[in-house]
Amino acid sequence: MAVHWGGVAGMIVFYLIILLVGMWASKRTKGGDNPERVMVARRDIGWFVGFFTLVATWVGGGYINGTAEKVFRPGGGLLWTQAPIGYSLSFAVNGLFFTRKMRASNYVTMIDPFQIKYGSRFGGLLFVVALLGELLWCATILAALGSSIAVILELDQNLAVIISACIAAVYTLFGGLYSVAYTDIVQLILIFIGLWLAVPFAMTHEAVVPISETKDEWLGEWDNKLVGVWLDNWMLLIFGGVPWQAYYQRALAAKTPDLAVKLSYAATIGCLVMAIPAVIFGAVGSSTDWEMTNVNLNKTDPYEDASLVLPLIMQFLTPPFIAFMGLGAISAATMSSTDSSVLSSSSMFVRNIYSTIFRPKASDKEIIWVLRCTILVVTAIATILALTLKSIYTLFVLCSDLVYVILFPQLICVVHVPKANTYGLIPGLIIGLILRLGGGEEAIGMPHFIRYPFYDDDYGQLFPFRSLAMLVSLITTLVFSYGVALLFEKGYVSEKWDIFECFHVDDENEKNENHPAVKYELQGPENKNESDKFL
């Protein structure tokens, strides 16, 4: 087995850079046994670090590899590569409608307002949806890294994913948002330099036809029958990219609400810029006569496994030093993103489930150790998902699916609808979930049991059923919330039937008294300012 030592050296060097920066940054987390300091970095993130770390919310191995894969993949093309633009615009949506209120309330995780509004247990149900999204995102990252290492080392891709996951778990244990944020800076600088250095070499390789002459290959084809699917994907990616702990982990750590909003707008532009080289590489892959390269097509044919197109371009269409930079940068970038996704999932579990529901009196030291154990479990689950679903772009889009249908309408309610309550939450969740699952999902082999309008035997569901499920879930939540509120407030129904205690004013604080965010909100203005000193 021939090992590409240049690529191996690049991977090792850049891994070490990320690891050392993460270890150095972890020292800034003074009082490392304080869980909130670990999760929101003492709310001390400024413009420079904040911009880089917010852009890195999306830009990693999955973002770069997945974009190149979709542009290159036959039947895809630039026209159907919607994820980079959609996810980028989700920052602007957050900045316009959600970030200011979330940061001003000094929440630590995105799930905090759900538990305040719906109670610790019912609000905690939404953690499951958020966790699934984060797990799929982490799996995307690991799959991208696994494909890169498989090309560099000529290892089996499954083995490469497992090795990558083990390295990620070890690195993430150094923990803390400071480590995540500062490694994000290195990540983006490395990937920006590494990718743009490779662009001119890849475009001018003798096996590559000028991309201007192969537009039909990489622009993609439009089919009027698929307009509903196309629009549904846009809605899913833009609004499904909003309720993510990976984003709020950074935004809630900004020094001020105003800064968090401005960083969100800046990150929108930053993400769009970072997608440009990936799009170019996808076009280059479509314009390459792979038989003219040294690729062993019997073993690694990009048309059979499109997720390998970017590392193959780096390895075989650029000089060794450029491949060293490009492949090493992708590996390092992916590792840094993995640490962020794992920390997001673990933070939500420890704060919103373990310490709020099961162990309200747990010590800070206990919570920190549970956080570390959770990191290992999350990494293991994400690894299994990465080994099961092979398409990086498919994982990339599936990440936002349930988040869009279930979590997004509830985020609207907890932030902007004062009368939203548990009586609206439950039917909203049930109906939204049924409508979404009813449409099936070919990517994971799940058959449909609802035949929406315009169904086609060749294309499947053509109706934008995901957006329908999201809207129906939102409307159902609002109708039941306001309807039940009217019944209780007007005295048509006695308070003794208020089984979820949504309208017992005297008991409202008591039912959530163990939730840290509730305690914080109940403090006076002077105490809030004092508390900020310790966050």
* Measured CA distances, 340 to 143, 184, 486 (Å): 16, 9, 43
Domain boundaries, the chain: 5-17+39-288+300-398, 417-515
Determine contact, residues 433/405, Cβ cutoff 8 Å: yes
DSSP state, residue 491: T
Q: CB 456: neighbour CB atoms within 10 A? A: 10
248: left (phi over 0), alpha (psi -120 to 50) or beta: alpha
Q: How far apart are CA 309 and CA 85, in angstroms?
A: 21
> Can you give the pLDDT of all 535 residues of the chain as single tens digits?
555 666 667 677 777 777 788 777 777 655 556 677 677 777 888 999 999 989 988 887 778 888 999 999 988 899 999 999 999 999 999 999 999 999 999 999 999 999 999 988 888 888 888 888 888 778 777 777 776 677 666 666 777 778 777 776 776 676 567 777 888 888 888 888 889 999 999 999 999 999 999 998 999 989 899 999 999 999 999 999 999 998 999 999 999 999 999 999 999 999 999 999 999 999 999 999 999 988 877 777 888 888 889 988 988 899 988 887 777 777 766 666 777 788 888 889 988 899 888 888 888 888 888 888 888 888 888 888 888 766 655 665 666 788 899 999 999 999 999 999 999 999 999 999 999 989 988 766 778 899 999 888 888 899 999 999 999 999 999 999 999 999 998 888 888 899 988 886 554 444 455 555 554 444 433 334 333 332 3
CA dihedral 336, 140, 414, 375 (to 10 degrees): -50
What is the predicted pLDDT for the residue at 514? 52
Beta bridge partners of 441: 446
Q: 379 burial class (0-12, 13-18, 19+ CB within 10 angstroms)?
A: buried
Q: Is 365 exposed, middle or buried (0-12, 13-18, 19+ CB in 10 A)?
A: exposed
Nearest to 195 by CA among 148, 255, 257, 143: 148
Token pair for 391: 């398409």
User: Can you tell me whether residue 460 is helix, strand or coil?
Assistant: strand
Of 374, 317, 339, 286, nearest to 178 by C-alpha is 339
Q: What is the pLDDT of residue 396?
A: 56
On the 0-12 / 13-18 / 19+ scale of CB atoms within 10 A, 237 is: buried
Helix (H, G, I), strand (E, B) or coil at 446: strand
Model pLDDT, residue 131: 85
| pLDDT number for residue 176 | 64
**Closest to 59 (Cα-Cα) out of 247, 199, 204:** 247
What does the pLDDT read at residue 155? 63
CA gap 122, 120 in Å, rounded: 6
Quick one: pLDDT at residue 515?
59
**Environment class of residue 502 by beta-carbon count within 10 Å: exposed (0-12), middle (13-18) or buried (19+)?**
buried
The answer to whether the beta carbons of residues 265 and 90 sit under 8 Å apart is no
pTM of this structure: 0.86
For 212-263, the DSSP string reads: GG-HHHHS----GGGHHHHHHHHHHHHHHTSS-HHHHHHHTTBSSHHHHHHH
Instruction: Output the pLDDT for position 171.
Output: 61
Class of the CATH domain delimited by 5-17+39-288+300-398:
mainly alpha
End-to-end CA separation in angstroms for the chain = 52
